[in-house]
Structure 1
Protein backbone atom coordinates (compact mmCIF):
# COMPACT_ATOMS: atom_id res chain seq x y z
CA UNK A 1 0.00 0.00 0.00
CA UNK A 2 1.36 3.37 -0.91
CA UNK A 3 1.95 5.73 1.99
CA UNK A 4 0.14 9.02 1.99
CA UNK A 5 1.61 12.28 3.30
CA UNK A 6 -0.78 12.01 6.19
CA UNK A 7 0.55 8.53 7.07
CA UNK A 8 4.05 9.89 7.15
CA UNK A 9 2.95 12.83 9.24
CA UNK A 10 1.19 10.65 11.82
CA UNK A 11 3.98 8.15 12.05
CA UNK A 12 5.40 7.95 15.61
CA UNK A 13 8.74 6.56 16.51
CA UNK A 14 9.89 5.15 19.91
CA UNK A 15 12.42 7.17 21.85
CA UNK A 16 15.70 5.73 23.09
CA UNK A 17 18.60 7.13 24.83
CA UNK A 18 21.18 8.72 22.65
CA UNK A 19 18.69 8.65 19.70
CA UNK A 20 18.12 11.24 16.89
CA UNK A 21 17.12 14.81 17.60
CA UNK A 22 13.37 14.80 17.50
CA UNK A 23 13.04 18.35 16.15
CA UNK A 24 15.48 17.68 13.35
CA UNK A 25 13.70 14.48 12.48
CA UNK A 26 10.36 16.26 12.48
CA UNK A 27 11.71 19.05 10.30
CA UNK A 28 13.16 16.56 7.88
CA UNK A 29 9.93 14.58 7.85
CA UNK A 30 8.00 17.78 7.08
CA UNK A 31 10.25 18.36 4.09
CA UNK A 32 9.79 14.76 3.02
CA UNK A 33 6.02 15.13 3.37
CA UNK A 34 6.02 18.24 1.20
CA UNK A 35 8.21 16.66 -1.43
CA UNK A 36 6.18 13.48 -1.31
CA UNK A 37 2.97 15.47 -1.66
CA UNK A 38 4.41 17.25 -4.66
CA UNK A 39 5.52 13.93 -6.12
CA UNK A 40 2.06 12.47 -5.61
CA UNK A 41 0.47 15.51 -7.22
CA UNK A 42 2.90 15.29 -10.14
CA UNK A 43 2.20 11.59 -10.43
CA UNK A 44 -1.55 12.25 -10.47
CA UNK A 45 -1.09 14.94 -13.07
CA UNK A 46 1.00 12.58 -15.14
CA UNK A 47 -1.64 9.91 -14.81
CA UNK A 48 -4.29 12.33 -16.05
CA UNK A 49 -2.06 13.39 -18.94
CA UNK A 50 -1.32 9.77 -19.70
CA UNK A 51 -5.02 8.96 -19.65
CA UNK A 52 -5.73 11.92 -21.91
CA UNK A 53 -2.87 10.88 -24.16
CA UNK A 54 -4.25 7.35 -24.26
CA UNK A 55 -7.70 8.69 -25.15
CA UNK A 56 -6.20 10.86 -27.84
CA UNK A 57 -4.14 7.93 -29.04
CA UNK A 58 -7.27 5.80 -29.25
CA UNK A 59 -9.00 8.66 -31.06
CA UNK A 60 -6.08 9.03 -33.45
CA UNK A 61 -5.95 5.29 -33.91
CA UNK A 62 -9.64 5.40 -34.75
CA UNK A 63 -9.01 8.28 -37.11
CA UNK A 64 -6.10 6.35 -38.55
CA UNK A 65 -8.31 3.35 -39.20
CA UNK A 66 -10.99 5.59 -40.65
CA UNK A 67 -8.38 7.44 -42.71
CA UNK A 68 -6.91 4.17 -43.91
CA UNK A 69 -10.39 3.01 -44.82
CA UNK A 70 -11.02 6.31 -46.58
CA UNK A 71 -7.71 5.97 -48.39
CA UNK A 72 -8.67 2.47 -49.47
CA UNK A 73 -12.10 3.70 -50.63
CA UNK A 74 -10.50 6.66 -52.39
CA UNK A 75 -7.93 4.37 -54.01
CA UNK A 76 -10.68 2.02 -55.16
CA UNK A 77 -12.68 4.98 -56.42
CA UNK A 78 -9.60 6.33 -58.19
CA UNK A 79 -8.94 2.92 -59.72
CA UNK A 80 -12.56 2.66 -60.86
CA UNK A 81 -12.45 6.21 -62.17
CA UNK A 82 -9.23 5.51 -64.00
CA UNK A 83 -10.64 2.31 -65.44
CA UNK A 84 -13.87 4.04 -66.48
CA UNK A 85 -11.89 6.97 -67.89
CA UNK A 86 -9.71 4.63 -69.93
CA UNK A 87 -12.80 2.78 -71.12
CA UNK A 88 -14.59 6.03 -71.99
CA UNK A 89 -11.44 7.36 -73.63
CA UNK A 90 -11.15 4.23 -75.73
CA UNK A 91 -14.83 4.43 -76.72
CA UNK A 92 -14.51 8.14 -77.50
CA UNK A 93 -11.41 7.45 -79.58
CA UNK A 94 -13.15 4.70 -81.51
CA UNK A 95 -16.27 6.84 -82.02
CA UNK A 96 -14.19 9.84 -83.08
CA UNK A 97 -12.14 7.65 -85.40
CA UNK A 98 -15.32 6.29 -87.01
CA UNK A 99 -16.75 9.80 -87.37
CA UNK A 100 -13.49 11.04 -88.84
CA UNK A 101 -13.45 8.16 -91.32
CA UNK A 102 -17.08 8.88 -92.27
CA UNK A 103 -16.32 12.58 -92.72
CA UNK A 104 -13.33 11.72 -94.90
CA UNK A 105 -15.40 9.27 -96.94
CA UNK A 106 -18.19 11.81 -97.40
CA UNK A 107 -15.69 14.51 -98.34
CA UNK A 108 -14.03 12.14 -100.82
CA UNK A 109 -17.39 11.22 -102.36
CA UNK A 110 -18.35 14.88 -102.65
CA UNK A 111 -14.98 15.71 -104.17
CA UNK A 112 -15.38 12.88 -106.68
CA UNK A 113 -18.89 14.10 -107.53
CA UNK A 114 -17.68 17.68 -107.97
CA UNK A 115 -14.81 16.51 -110.18
CA UNK A 116 -17.18 14.33 -112.24
CA UNK A 117 -19.66 17.21 -112.66
CA UNK A 118 -16.83 19.56 -113.59
CA UNK A 119 -15.49 17.01 -116.07
CA UNK A 120 -18.93 16.46 -117.61
CA UNK A 121 -19.49 20.22 -117.83
CA UNK A 122 -16.05 20.69 -119.40
CA UNK A 123 -16.81 17.97 -121.96
CA UNK A 124 -20.19 19.59 -122.66
CA UNK A 125 -18.55 22.98 -123.10
CA UNK A 126 -15.95 21.45 -125.41
CA UNK A 127 -18.74 19.87 -127.45
CA UNK A 128 -20.65 23.16 -127.61
CA UNK A 129 -17.46 24.99 -128.52
CA UNK A 130 -16.69 22.46 -131.26
CA UNK A 131 -20.26 22.75 -132.60
CA UNK A 132 -19.94 26.52 -132.50
CA UNK A 133 -16.68 26.36 -134.48
CA UNK A 134 -18.30 24.05 -137.03
CA UNK A 135 -21.40 26.26 -137.27
CA UNK A 136 -19.23 29.35 -137.64
CA UNK A 137 -17.17 27.66 -140.34
CA UNK A 138 -20.33 26.57 -142.17
CA UNK A 139 -21.84 30.04 -141.88
CA UNK A 140 -18.58 31.57 -143.15
CA UNK A 141 -18.59 29.16 -146.08
CA UNK A 142 -22.20 30.02 -146.91
CA UNK A 143 -21.42 33.75 -146.78
CA UNK A 144 -18.32 33.20 -148.87
CA UNK A 145 -20.30 31.15 -151.42
CA UNK A 146 -23.00 33.81 -151.52
CA UNK A 147 -20.44 36.58 -152.03
CA UNK A 148 -18.65 34.55 -154.70
CA UNK A 149 -21.92 33.97 -156.52
CA UNK A 150 -22.73 37.69 -156.32
CA UNK A 151 -19.24 38.59 -157.56
CA UNK A 152 -19.62 36.04 -160.34
CA UNK A 153 -22.98 37.55 -161.24
CA UNK A 154 -21.44 41.03 -161.31
CA UNK A 155 -18.62 39.79 -163.51
CA UNK A 156 -21.07 38.22 -166.01
CA UNK A 157 -20.75 39.53 -169.59
CA UNK A 158 -24.53 39.80 -169.93
CA UNK A 159 -24.46 43.06 -167.95
CA UNK A 160 -22.56 44.69 -170.82
CA UNK A 161 -24.97 43.18 -173.33
CA UNK A 162 -27.93 44.49 -171.36
CA UNK A 163 -26.43 47.94 -171.02
CA UNK A 164 -25.46 48.16 -174.72
CA UNK A 165 -28.73 46.69 -175.97
CA UNK A 166 -30.67 49.11 -173.80
CA UNK A 167 -28.85 52.04 -175.37
CA UNK A 168 -29.50 50.74 -178.91
CA UNK A 169 -33.12 50.04 -178.11
CA UNK A 170 -33.51 53.51 -176.62
CA UNK A 171 -32.05 55.07 -179.77
CA UNK A 172 -34.28 52.97 -182.04
CA UNK A 173 -37.41 53.79 -180.08
CA UNK A 174 -36.57 57.48 -180.00
CA UNK A 175 -35.97 57.43 -183.76
CA UNK A 176 -39.30 55.78 -184.47
CA UNK A 177 -41.13 58.22 -182.20
CA UNK A 178 -39.56 61.14 -184.04
CA UNK A 179 -40.61 59.60 -187.36
CA UNK A 180 -44.19 59.31 -186.14
CA UNK A 181 -44.19 62.89 -184.98
CA UNK A 182 -42.81 63.99 -188.35
CA UNK A 183 -45.39 62.01 -190.27
CA UNK A 184 -48.24 63.52 -188.23
CA UNK A 185 -46.98 67.01 -188.78
CA UNK A 186 -46.76 66.37 -192.57
CA UNK A 187 -50.40 65.37 -192.77
CA UNK A 188 -49.77 61.80 -193.67
CA UNK A 189 -52.75 59.63 -193.19
CA UNK A 190 -52.68 57.19 -190.39
CA UNK A 191 -52.47 53.60 -191.24
CA UNK A 192 -55.36 51.31 -190.43
CA UNK A 193 -55.45 49.07 -187.44
CA UNK A 194 -54.03 46.14 -189.33
CA UNK A 195 -51.06 48.17 -190.52
CA UNK A 196 -50.42 49.64 -187.09
CA UNK A 197 -50.39 46.22 -185.62
CA UNK A 198 -47.53 45.32 -187.96
CA UNK A 199 -45.31 47.94 -186.32
CA UNK A 200 -43.84 46.11 -183.30
CA UNK A 201 -41.39 47.41 -180.63
CA UNK A 202 -38.77 45.06 -179.11
CA UNK A 203 -37.90 45.81 -175.44
CA UNK A 204 -34.71 44.41 -173.84
CA UNK A 205 -34.47 43.69 -170.06
CA UNK A 206 -31.37 43.81 -167.78
CA UNK A 207 -31.23 40.03 -167.49
CA UNK A 208 -30.61 39.78 -171.27
CA UNK A 209 -34.14 38.76 -172.24
CA UNK A 210 -36.34 40.72 -174.63
CA UNK A 211 -40.00 41.13 -175.43
CA UNK A 212 -41.81 42.40 -178.57
CA UNK A 213 -44.56 44.90 -177.83
CA UNK A 214 -47.23 45.19 -180.55
Structure 2
Protein backbone atom coordinates (compact mmCIF):
# COMPACT_ATOMS: atom_id res chain seq x y z
CA UNK A 1 0.00 0.00 0.00
CA UNK A 2 1.32 3.45 -0.95
CA UNK A 3 1.02 6.16 1.66
CA UNK A 4 0.02 9.65 0.60
CA UNK A 5 -0.91 12.55 2.86
CA UNK A 6 -4.50 12.41 1.60
CA UNK A 7 -4.74 8.63 2.22
CA UNK A 8 -3.44 9.11 5.75
CA UNK A 9 -6.00 11.86 6.40
CA UNK A 10 -8.93 9.79 5.08
CA UNK A 11 -7.91 6.58 6.78
CA UNK A 12 -10.91 5.08 8.65
CA UNK A 13 -10.58 2.63 11.49
CA UNK A 14 -13.17 0.17 12.78
CA UNK A 15 -14.84 1.21 15.91
CA UNK A 16 -14.54 -1.03 18.84
CA UNK A 17 -15.52 -0.93 22.39
CA UNK A 18 -12.73 0.30 24.48
CA UNK A 19 -10.78 1.52 21.44
CA UNK A 20 -8.68 4.63 21.00
CA UNK A 21 -10.07 8.13 21.26
CA UNK A 22 -11.25 8.96 17.75
CA UNK A 23 -10.41 12.69 17.96
CA UNK A 24 -6.96 11.95 19.28
CA UNK A 25 -6.33 9.44 16.47
CA UNK A 26 -7.68 12.00 13.90
CA UNK A 27 -5.37 14.76 15.21
CA UNK A 28 -2.43 12.39 15.21
CA UNK A 29 -3.18 11.24 11.66
CA UNK A 30 -3.49 14.85 10.47
CA UNK A 31 -0.13 15.72 12.05
CA UNK A 32 1.37 12.59 10.56
CA UNK A 33 -0.12 13.44 7.12
CA UNK A 34 1.18 17.01 7.37
CA UNK A 35 4.67 15.84 8.37
CA UNK A 36 4.60 13.20 5.65
CA UNK A 37 3.58 15.86 3.12
CA UNK A 38 6.48 18.07 4.25
CA UNK A 39 8.87 15.15 3.92
CA UNK A 40 7.58 14.37 0.43
CA UNK A 41 7.99 18.04 -0.60
CA UNK A 42 11.48 18.13 0.88
CA UNK A 43 12.32 14.85 -0.86
CA UNK A 44 11.10 16.29 -4.17
CA UNK A 45 13.20 19.44 -3.70
CA UNK A 46 16.26 17.37 -2.76
CA UNK A 47 15.79 15.18 -5.85
CA UNK A 48 15.64 18.33 -7.98
CA UNK A 49 18.81 19.63 -6.31
CA UNK A 50 20.48 16.26 -6.82
CA UNK A 51 19.53 16.35 -10.50
CA UNK A 52 20.93 19.89 -10.84
CA UNK A 53 24.10 18.94 -8.96
CA UNK A 54 24.52 15.79 -11.05
CA UNK A 55 24.26 17.94 -14.17
CA UNK A 56 26.87 20.33 -12.78
CA UNK A 57 29.12 17.44 -11.75
CA UNK A 58 28.78 15.98 -15.23
CA UNK A 59 29.69 19.36 -16.73
CA UNK A 60 32.68 19.66 -14.38
CA UNK A 61 33.77 16.13 -15.23
CA UNK A 62 33.61 17.05 -18.92
CA UNK A 63 35.65 20.20 -18.24
CA UNK A 64 38.14 18.13 -16.24
CA UNK A 65 38.34 15.61 -19.09
CA UNK A 66 38.89 18.42 -21.62
CA UNK A 67 41.57 20.00 -19.41
CA UNK A 68 43.27 16.64 -19.01
CA UNK A 69 43.24 16.15 -22.79
CA UNK A 70 44.59 19.68 -23.28
CA UNK A 71 47.41 19.04 -20.78
CA UNK A 72 48.27 15.73 -22.46
CA UNK A 73 48.27 17.39 -25.89
CA UNK A 74 50.41 20.25 -24.58
CA UNK A 75 52.89 17.76 -23.12
CA UNK A 76 52.98 15.83 -26.40
CA UNK A 77 53.46 19.04 -28.35
CA UNK A 78 56.24 20.16 -26.01
CA UNK A 79 57.93 16.77 -26.28
CA UNK A 80 57.68 16.81 -30.08
CA UNK A 81 58.97 20.39 -30.20
CA UNK A 82 61.94 19.48 -28.01
CA UNK A 83 62.67 16.39 -30.12
CA UNK A 84 62.44 18.40 -33.33
CA UNK A 85 64.74 21.06 -31.91
CA UNK A 86 67.27 18.39 -30.89
CA UNK A 87 67.10 16.77 -34.34
CA UNK A 88 67.50 20.14 -36.02
CA UNK A 89 70.47 21.08 -33.84
CA UNK A 90 72.10 17.70 -34.55
CA UNK A 91 71.51 18.20 -38.26
CA UNK A 92 73.00 21.71 -38.14
CA UNK A 93 75.98 20.41 -36.19
CA UNK A 94 76.60 17.62 -38.71
CA UNK A 95 76.24 20.11 -41.54
CA UNK A 96 78.76 22.44 -39.90
CA UNK A 97 81.17 19.54 -39.34
CA UNK A 98 80.90 18.52 -43.00
CA UNK A 99 81.48 22.10 -44.14
CA UNK A 100 84.49 22.47 -41.83
CA UNK A 101 85.96 19.20 -43.15
CA UNK A 102 85.37 20.42 -46.69
CA UNK A 103 87.07 23.74 -45.94
CA UNK A 104 90.01 21.93 -44.30
CA UNK A 105 90.37 19.63 -47.33
CA UNK A 106 90.30 22.62 -49.69
CA UNK A 107 92.91 24.37 -47.55
CA UNK A 108 95.12 21.25 -47.60
CA UNK A 109 94.82 21.01 -51.37
CA UNK A 110 95.63 24.70 -51.69
CA UNK A 111 98.64 24.22 -49.40
CA UNK A 112 99.90 21.35 -51.54
CA UNK A 113 99.37 23.43 -54.68
CA UNK A 114 101.21 26.43 -53.19
CA UNK A 115 104.02 24.16 -51.92
CA UNK A 116 104.39 22.70 -55.40
CA UNK A 117 104.46 26.17 -56.92
CA UNK A 118 107.10 27.28 -54.38
CA UNK A 119 109.17 24.21 -55.21
CA UNK A 120 108.82 24.91 -58.93
CA UNK A 121 109.84 28.53 -58.38
CA UNK A 122 112.86 27.46 -56.33
CA UNK A 123 113.87 25.05 -59.09
CA UNK A 124 113.40 27.81 -61.67
CA UNK A 125 115.44 30.22 -59.51
CA UNK A 126 118.19 27.61 -59.12
CA UNK A 127 118.18 26.98 -62.88
CA UNK A 128 118.40 30.68 -63.65
CA UNK A 129 121.17 31.15 -61.09
CA UNK A 130 123.07 28.24 -62.57
CA UNK A 131 122.70 29.63 -66.08
CA UNK A 132 123.72 33.06 -64.86
CA UNK A 133 126.76 31.62 -63.06
CA UNK A 134 127.69 29.66 -66.13
CA UNK A 135 127.28 32.71 -68.31
CA UNK A 136 129.27 34.90 -65.95
CA UNK A 137 131.95 32.23 -65.55
CA UNK A 138 132.17 31.93 -69.28
CA UNK A 139 132.44 35.68 -69.62
CA UNK A 140 135.03 35.78 -66.86
CA UNK A 141 137.07 33.13 -68.62
CA UNK A 142 136.87 35.08 -71.85
CA UNK A 143 137.93 38.15 -69.97
CA UNK A 144 140.76 36.27 -68.27
CA UNK A 145 141.92 34.90 -71.61
CA UNK A 146 141.74 38.26 -73.17
CA UNK A 147 143.71 39.73 -70.25
CA UNK A 148 146.21 36.98 -70.48
CA UNK A 149 146.74 37.66 -74.19
CA UNK A 150 146.93 41.31 -73.71
CA UNK A 151 149.75 42.63 -71.73
CA UNK A 152 148.29 45.90 -71.02
CA UNK A 153 145.02 46.14 -69.41
CA UNK A 154 142.91 49.13 -69.22
CA UNK A 155 141.53 50.31 -65.95
CA UNK A 156 138.00 49.80 -67.23
CA UNK A 157 138.53 46.11 -67.86
CA UNK A 158 139.95 45.59 -64.39
CA UNK A 159 136.96 47.28 -62.83
CA UNK A 160 134.64 45.14 -64.96
CA UNK A 161 136.41 42.01 -63.84
CA UNK A 162 136.12 43.05 -60.21
CA UNK A 163 132.42 43.71 -60.67
CA UNK A 164 131.87 40.32 -62.31
CA UNK A 165 133.75 38.59 -59.50
CA UNK A 166 131.58 40.35 -56.93
CA UNK A 167 128.41 39.34 -58.77
CA UNK A 168 129.48 35.70 -58.89
CA UNK A 169 130.30 35.72 -55.19
CA UNK A 170 126.91 37.24 -54.38
CA UNK A 171 125.12 34.68 -56.53
CA UNK A 172 126.93 31.82 -54.84
CA UNK A 173 125.78 32.98 -51.48
TM-score if structure 2 supplies the norm length?
0.53
Name the structure 1 match of 2:164: none
The residue number in structure 2 matching 1:72 is: 61
Which residue is 2:17 aligned to? none
1:128 aligns with 2:121: no
1:151-166, aligned counterparts within 5 Å?
151-157=140-146, 160=149
Give the drift of 1:124: 0.9
Q: Which has the higher contact order (CA 8 A, sep 6+)?
A: 2
Offset of residue 99 of structure 1: 1.7
- Equivalenced residues, count: 112
Q: CA deviation at 1:98?
A: 1.8
Segment drifting more, 153-162 vs 140-149 = 153-162
Bigger CA radius of gyration? 1
User: Taking structure 1 as reference, are residues 75 and 156 closer, same or farther at Cα in structure 2, changes over 3 Å only?
Assistant: same
1:95 aligns with 2:84: yes
Kindly tell me: are residues 59 and 144 of structure 1, through their superposed partners in 2, closer, same or farther at Cα, counting changes over 3 Å? farther
- Which aligned pairs between 1:30-69 and structure 2 lie closer than 5 A? 64-69=53-58
Change (3 A) 1:147 1:60: farther
- Please name the residue that 2:126 is paired with: 137
Match of 1:35 in 2: none
Shift of 1:70: 2.7
2:102 maps to what in 1? 113
Q: Which has the larger share of helix? A: 2
Q: CA deviation at 1:85?
A: 1.4
Superposed displacement of residue 160, structure 1: 3.4
| CA shift for structure 1 position 137 | 1.4
Displacement of 1:69 in angstroms is: 2.6
Structure 1 gap ranges (5+): 1-50, 164-214
